[in-house]
Amino acid sequence: MAARKRTSGQEPGELFDRRSYGRGGASVPGARGRRTRGSAATATIPEDDPLDDSSSLAKEMLAPARPASLRSEPVDPRQVGLFETEPLREFEYVGGIHLTDSVLWCDCDRRRDLVFLSHAHADFIGKHRRILATDKTVRILTHATGKVDALTSPYRRRFTLGPLSLEMHPAGHVLGSAQILIERGGRRLVYTSDVNTRPSATAEKAKPLECDVLSVPATYGLPLYRFPPREEVIVSIRQFIDECLNDGANPVLIAERVGLSQELMRVLGEAGYKLRVHGSIYEVAKVYRELGISLPNARRFGGTPARDEVVIFPPVLRKHAAIRKLRKSRTAMVTGRAVEPGFAVQQRVDAAFPLADACDYEDLKRFIKGTGAAEVYLTGGFVEELSADLRAEGVRVFSLVPPKQLALF
């Protein structure tokens, strides 16, 4: 097997002349009027209520939106699979994922006029960018970043933006995460970031949406990533915790600040464990609670946990002095990567548990096939490997990652 490469869809590489595109601050009626908690200026899009065509944003979308700078873009046909006889691709990578011939960008980390943010893992949310997201995603994001100009919609409510008919559906990844179904010209297109089709205690699980074109990352797109049933993993985590506590050590679980941490908080808190979570996790948990997710038995970490308390920290702080100072502790990482051979040893932790917030290899293939999409765009993760597997099964696959992508892992 070729060396494993994990690629990311969010690599830098400015290929796009911003001066010739997206200028002028298009306005959406009602987009700036209301404010919700976290200083978000949000506008909830009414059902089947198209934007006023007189708005500059709508005009911009109705006009042929492909700017001169994109037409002159040097394109490597091997990268994007473009050949003269093939139709224009629905999605393209131009310094970010872009719905071709539209103003809509997806999870883009550069300043654009309108970006669909699929979930609250984005830490690149620009202060003056208008985002399109679920109301829950905006609530979680704005808690940390302050003011955001946002268009929000709940799941399963259809709305229109110029020529696009849009609808958000659960992605199962973290609370509020969404796939977006885009209909235009009689074609159904779905863009999503990570999806999770297994049950979760904190996020509504993803179901495949029937579509012609699908854009999805290949995060765990290798057969190596085969996750055991969730209940088994939870039993193992509880055994680890019990053994630590019986031995007088504080268990320290390392999990993503948004999503997996709250998942652990819910499962363990409801099982009666006393939790001490890092402040950054606690802040997110407060929003989860406001959004109706019960996270009992959890307090903010204050430096000296009691002997019967379980500590949860985010991965970036796993080597924090506060953990090293604990009288006696054992550390475990909670991530899908835990199934990689030797992962715990490599990460210098005592244990690792594959509780994941994204599909494993088989789940992902099942999800992709479940959409019935004839064209699939892979936007990060194990793009080359999953592309080969899907092509072998007759699916047309395109890579939607920055050119000259380097291996990151």
Q: Which is nearer to Zn ion, 121 or 129 (CB)?
A: 121
Q: What is the DSSP letter of 256?
A: -
61 vs 293 by CB, closer to Zn ion: 293
Tell me how crowded residue 35 is: count the other CB atoms within 10 A of its CB.
11
Give least dist CB 115 to Zn ion, A.
15
Stretch that binds Zn ion, among 61-69, 114-122, 206-214, 230-238 (CB under 5 A): 114-122
Beta carbon of residue 279, minimum distance to Zn ion (angstroms, whole number): 21
**Closest separation in Å from C-beta 203 to Zn ion:** 11
Which CB sits closer to Zn ion, 236 or 280?
280
Which residue type occupies 104? L
How far apart CA 408 and CA 12 sit, in angstroms, is 13
User: Rounded to whole angstroms, how far apart are CA atoms 191 and 117?
Assistant: 11
Nearer to Zn ion (CB atom), residue 121 or residue 330:
121
CA–CA gap between residue 54 and residue 122 (Å, rounded): 32
Does 257 contact Zn ion by CB under 5 A? no
- Smaller CB distance to Zn ion: residue 121 or 257? 121
Q: How far apart, in whole angstroms, are the C-alpha atoms of residue 343 and residue 330? A: 16
Q: Which stretch binds Zn ion (CB under 5 A): 21-29, 64-72, 117-125, 373-381?
A: 117-125
Q: Which stretch binds Zn ion (CB under 5 A): 85-93, 119-127, 264-272, 343-351?
A: 119-127
Sheet holding 178-184, edge to edge: 159-161, 164-170, 178-184, 187-191, 213-218, 375-381, 396-399
Number of other residues whose CB lies within 10 A of the CB of residue 349? 18
Which residues from 137-166 bind Zn ion, rule CB under 5 A?
Answer: none
**Least distance to Zn ion, CB of residue 219, Å:** 9
Shortest distance (Å) from residue 309 CB to Zn ion = 28
**Stretch of residues binding Zn ion (CB under 5 A), selected from 121-129, 196-204, 294-302, 365-373:** 121-129
Residue nearest to Zn ion (CB): 121
Estimate the crossing angle of helix 135-145 against helix 279-290, to 10 degrees: 140
Nearer to Zn ion by C-beta: 28 or 401? 401
DSSP 40-95: EEEEEPPTT-PPPTTSHHHHHHHS----HHHHT----HHHHT--TTSPPPSEEESS
CB of 63 to Zn ion, least distance (A): 34
Using CB under 5 A, which of 110, 121, 257, 276 touches Zn ion? 121
Between residues 121 and 276, which has the closer beta carbon with respect to Zn ion? 121
How would you label 108-145 residue by residue, b for 16+ Cβ within 10 Å and e otherwise? Answer: bbbebbbbbbbbbbbeebbeebbbbbbbbbbbbbbbbb
Closest approach, Cβ 121 to Zn ion, in A, equals 3
Residues binding Zn ion: number (CB under 5 A) = 1
CA distance 306 to 302: 10
Angle (CA) 167-152-184 rounded to 5° is 30
Closer residue to Zn ion (CB): 121 or 278: 121
Binding footprint of Zn ion on the chain (CB under 5 A): 121
